[in-house]
Amino acid sequence: MDELAMQVRLLVLDVDGVMTDGRLWFGPDGEVMKAFHVRDGVGIKAVLGAGIEVAIISGRRSAAVERRAAELGIRHVRQGCDNKALALRELLAELDIGAKQAACVVDDTPDLPMMAIVAFPIAVADAHPDVIAAARHVTGAAGGHGAVREACDMLLDGRT
């Protein structure tokens, strides 16, 4: 088990391309619909149950994200973030958690500044090549297809 993974107290998730497959579905009235993988939710609940805080930091705003976060018990949701690194630093300060105790799961280049902050940056399998190069771990699953569950299982592996 990776020693850094054992120290993680905060797991930060991007949404589009991580919790979803990255596609945006627009309904006839303009609403955006998102599909979330149920197994990712099971992993998130397990991580929360183990005492690891979970947060969402997303560049977009979506009522679907608010609803999914509420269903899963994710209390820390930051949407519409133009500066994800700033949102992450504020969250770390609010929770009194050091960057060395944080992980993030991301997929695209706007997430690179967050990856540079946390000790355990994770890229989904279908992430942008620059994100994969900056990651400490790359999931076997693509975003929206169980990558979050895989990351959660990895963080829980070896914990009692």
DSSP state of 99: G
| CA angle in degrees (0–180, nearest 5) for 141-159-41 | 40
Radius of gyration of the chain (CA): 14
Phi-psi region of 51 (alpha: psi -120 to 50; beta: other; left: phi over 0): left
Domain ranges for the chain: 3-156
pLDDT, position 24: 86
User: Rounded to two decimals, what is the model's pTM?
Assistant: 0.94
**94-109 per-position pLDDT tens digit:** 999 999 999 999 999 9
Across the chain, mean pLDDT equals: 94
Distance separating alpha carbons of residues 103 and 155, to the nearest angstrom: 9
pLDDT, position 160: 55
Assigned token pair, 99:
């960057």
**1-53 per-position pLDDT tens digit:** 478 788 999 999 999 999 999 988 888 887 778 899 999 999 999 999 999 99
- Identify the CATH homologous superfamily for domain 3-156: HAD superfamily/HAD-like (3.40.50.1000)
